[in-house]
Structure 1
């Protein structure tokens, strides 16, 4: 999941942050304008593909005289991606919101996708007269429609003039798709609509350096987890918010499954239904399931009302996480009947609970 988000993050930089200019008509823009675009894929997509990070249900573009905010609406709620274009500074910001807010700044540059103008031909979208361009997408000729009546040059990666109202693009996972403006409203948006308050802003170079250093750190953490296998786990004594007390010495002879998480961690939340099913599979067996949360009980209690979690949950467990050398979330650990680490996985993976089930069964058979 993280790899996909990072790849898309960099893709935004190379495709969306392109040269933008103003036309005289920009001075006629009053307050804000919001255009909603329909997104139609060439092939029929399965429900699974519609959950893909690249999938777009529709696109919303909001703008005034000096800024454009483009947001893609998807079926995912664990992160949001958008592009903010500042015409006065001629800077573009690729924004990603997960548990943190990050934006990569880049100067406007020349669009790379060449097109052909159909001289003398015009079409109309939302009442605007549009120039018609053509280009090739995967060997197929497609039309691109832009208008100069809006006053801003919004072209993405197409080397056209005007404001895009219709275009076709392609995604290597989902295939070609056509984007067409379907609705326009004139309104007054909140003052913080185009704000980057709370975002960490980096240049592309800084982002690449950050990702490289994070990759190094991630490899170090993974190696540290591998090195722990077979070692004795730290001693601990905890009480869950359900009122159950657990001491490591009393759990000798049982398999102990630990989950380290916190309530505002999207991948932690994503794996909860799978962890609940895992616990249910070993009901009545010598397996103990304990979740170490970083949050205080009142936050956990509020979270659980919408997100059931059937492990015994320990609040304010950062000190336990430090004992177990947990540096990333979620982390799942399995301790055998003798108190030794037999499983130590960092981060969310779709098959993590299948791996855990296999390991637990393996230990129970000994």
Structure 2
């Protein structure tokens, strides 16, 4: 189950996010991935259940750093990211960070796939791409977003690499420094 969080605050956050996204249209739509393009933009809130039945919302995770990963089973670049992302989860296992994956799949398909393929993120089934499409307006897969302790986007990466070594190098150069920076900051 997936829904936008109710109330005027969530609606205002969604509108602010969509207002920023409106700058990235037409031939400029992929400028969204340029460093800093979404830096400091309030992430839109949503609530959902993970495939194991745990309720989660971005609002309930305030105070933690959040790493969102949007993917789907048949996506080869998505699969290349899994082991490097699992290594990052292991690196930060005792830190104030939450790893959520949002998969464009039915829950039953995810449960079956993840029984044979380890992905250490908490996973949300999003078969109709509500969170990916209607809330975050994801343009491609995989997409990874880091949200800081106060709910602002600090990292946005669209698309994948051609091999795991390239993924690890990219994460080491870009993703891990953002996580480290925002884990070390207090909520302000």
**Structure whose CA Rg is larger:** 1
Structure-1-length-normalised TM-score:
0.39
Q: Could you tell me whether the CA contact under 8 Å between 2:126 and 2:132 is conserved in 1? A: no
Which residue number corresponds to residue 302 of structure 1?
112
Greater share of residues in helix? 2
User: Offset at 1:303?
Assistant: 1.6
| 1:358 and 2:173 correspond | no
- Normalising by structure 2, we get a TM-score of 0.74
Do the aligned residues in 1 keep the contact of 2:72 with 2:104 (CA within 8 Å)?
A: yes
Q: Deviations over 1:32-57 (max 9, x none)?
A: xxxxxxxxxxxxxxxxxxxxxxxxxx
Unpaired runs of at least 5, structure 2: 1-24, 162-166
Larger relative contact order, structure 1 or 2 (CA cutoff 8 Å, min sep 6): 2
Post-superposition shift, 1:362? Answer: 0.7
1:261 Cα offset (Å): 0.2
Q: CA RMSD in A?
A: 1.8
Matched residue SS, 1:305: helix
Structure 1 residue 312 corresponds to structure 2 residue 122: yes
For structure 1, the 5+ residue unaligned runs are 1-216
Relative to structure 1, the CA distance from residue 364 to residue 321 in structure 2 (aligned partners, 3 Å threshold; closer, same or farther) is: same
Whether 1:224 aligns to 2:36 is no
- Counterparts in 2 of 1:93-242, with a 5 A limit? 220-226=28-34, 227-242=37-52
- 1:201 aligns with none
> Displaced runs of 4+ in structure 1, greater than 4 A?
none
Is this contact kept in 1: 2:69–2:102, CA < 8 A? Answer: yes
**1:274 alignment partner in structure 2:** 84
Q: CA deviation at 1:242?
A: 2.2
Which is strand-richer, 1 or 2?
1
Task: Report the counterpart of residue 145 of structure 2 in structure 1.
Answer: 333
Aligned to 1:165: none
